[in-house]
Structure 1
Amino acid sequence: AMAKAGLTNGYLMMLVAIIAGGLVGFLNGTLLTRLHLPHPFVSTLGMKNVLWGLALVVSGNQMLNNFPNEVQWLGKTTFKGFPVSFIIVILIFIFMHIFLTRTAMGRSIYCAGGNLEATRLSGIDTAKVLTFCYTLSGVMAALAGILSIGRSGISNGANAIQPYDTDAIAACIIGGASFTGGKGTMTGTMIGCLIIAVLRNGFALLSISSAWQNIVLGLVIILAVLMDVVRAYMDDKKRRLSTVK
């Protein structure tokens, strides 16, 4: 909306985008924890379609390309031979790794993902933890959007429905995160992202249609989920055997 209005303050534009992303995440978390919706997909999928519609309304379903230099600098500038966007991703990776493994909130996130009820009974405010997770996810999604616009220099409301969420889920599952929660590392997720990126780039180089790309990616997700189920079964079997002994 700010770009369409002709505003040229790139820093203000990025700040507003990050705040908006955080607010959307906070709203999703509030809907889940305070209204007790039956499943996270209910609020997040609904919000996805709401935001897609808003993107189309705000942009008028037209391509926007008059973004300030500060925004495009993030995606098109290099430092010591490395793209600035890549450096930002690495910094976020390091920050999130330390946050998840070295802070009380990070450990609470793993606990809540593994067993929400046990975490609540141990005295941890699970509603606060979940809301924080959704808020942080919204901020990260906003950062990803800023970097994407910085690289391409354009934005189109019609592209808001692109399957980035599917790629993100696939990367996490391939990287070792569990659908049941409580498992996953930043290193594994980064490896999953690299695998998805290699697949996407390979498909593009081979001129494979987007339909077949989605089919292959869907099969990869199913395979990763099956591996997660098998891994959970084997871990449970080991625990039962150790208990018997």
Structure 2
Amino acid sequence: MTPTTLSPSTGEKDQVRPPSPVRRVLEAVGPQNVSLILALIVVVAIFGYLDSNYLSLSNIEVIGQTVTVMGLLAIVQTVVIICGALDISVGSQAGVASVVSAMVFTSADGNPLLGMTAALAFGAVLGVVNGMIIIYGRVNAVVATLATLAAYKGLAQLLSGGRAQGYVLGDDVFVFIARGKIAGIPTMIWIVAVVALAVHLMLKYTDVGRNIYAIGGNDTAARLAGININKYLVAVYALTGIVAALAGIILTARTGSGQPTSGSEGLELKAITAAALGGCALTGGRGAITGTLLAVVLLGALDNGLNVVGVNSFWQNVAQGTLLVIAVVLQQRRAGERRVGLPT
């Protein structure tokens, strides 16, 4: 039955046309994601035209493997931002976990599971420390994690003596993570997909996820509703530490040794950029994993394309910074917030 409404001029019933199939698809995907998909198509088309090898299956696989570490960090950064906070130390946490996984693996007579477990446990502790500083030290999340960014980087260098530690490419488990495939898809991509799916389901279909959105949207209302904000913040930062440690383990598998800084330097900016591009409001309360993943793929495709066509790698940082500024500007204008220093 076609829905009807009363015409304001005649008082007669007018038929309301159902939305077109194209509009239904756009509404289901979301305007933010549509923009990312269009941008990705443009990037792929440009670099595919400039270099025929860009669209080869091997290069697409390289892009997928390259963005795995950034993808994991962007996923948990999304959760932190939705909760109304920020974690600038995720790259350093990955570096510490990379070193710990390789050093424990070496000292435990080549036991990969022990090395990975130690790294994940260490990551959880680092995340809890971040949460405790913010809550009980009453420190702004940006300032707190900026401090631990430096502290954890120093910790990774102290543990490793400032150089790569261990050698893991002789181990089957690490080799499977770095080079293995399941159903023709690299293992590292499967790891990111599983983590992304788990976090997506948590945010969208559980009370925990709804409470995280509530805290980021209005922490006062969330507190009055009986949500224990302190507990949630510590849990979110613990989750961030665990996933950052998983990223560190992948970094160890890819490079063949524990890396205190190499490979993890600058990952925090990439993670924040991907989350912001994916639609996360930096003020909290809004965001989704699907948008973040699309942004991760876009950033990976852009970086790879610049490398393929021989553009100076320093331009990648320029491009990432520009994209972050664009994403924040669009968010501010969409939210209708007053521009700083200008009359309303």
Aligned to 2:92: none
**Which of 161, 166, 176 pairs up with 1:60?**
161
Correspondence list, 1:1-245, <5 A: 1-3=103-105, 5=107, 7-37=109-139, 39-67=140-168, 68-159=171-262, 162-233=265-336
**For structure 1, which segment, 102-111 or 70-79, has the greater mean C-alpha deviation from structure 2 after superposition?**
70-79
Alpha-carbon contact 2:177-2:187 (below 8 Å) kept: yes
Alpha-carbon contact 1:6-1:66 (below 8 Å) kept: no
Aligned to 1:237: none
Q: Distance in 2 between matches of 1:161 and 1:186?
A: 22
Q: Distance in 2 between matches of 1:30 and 1:6?
A: 31
Per the TM alignment, residue 155 of structure 1 is displaced from its structure 2 partner at its CA by 3.1
Match for 1:80: what amino acid?
A
State the Cα RMSD in Å: 1.7
May I ask how many residue pairs the two structures share in their alignment?
233
- TM-score of the superposed pair, with normalisation by structure 1: 0.89
Q: Which runs of 5+ in 2 are unaligned?
A: 1-102, 338-344
Alpha-carbon contact 2:251-2:259 (below 8 Å) kept: no
Q: Distance in 1 between matches of 2:215 and 2:334?
A: 20
Per the TM alignment, residue 208 of structure 1 is displaced from its structure 2 partner at its CA by 2.5
Match for 2:204: what amino acid?
T
Match for 2:198: what amino acid?
F
Q: Distance in 2 between matches of 1:161 and 1:84?
A: 20
Structure number with bigger Rg: 2
Bigger relative contact order (CA 8 A; separation at least 6): 2
Q: Which runs of 5+ in 1 are unaligned?
A: 235-245
Alpha-carbon contact 1:173-1:224 (below 8 Å) kept: yes
Q: Deviations over 1:138-170 (max 9, x none)?
A: 111011111122223233323265111111001
- Give identity over the alignment, percent: 31
Q: Distance in 2 between matches of 1:60 and 1:227?
A: 44
Where is the helix percentage greater, Structure 1 or Structure 2? 1
**For structure 1, which segment, 210-219 or 108-117, has the greater mean C-alpha deviation from structure 2 after superposition?**
210-219
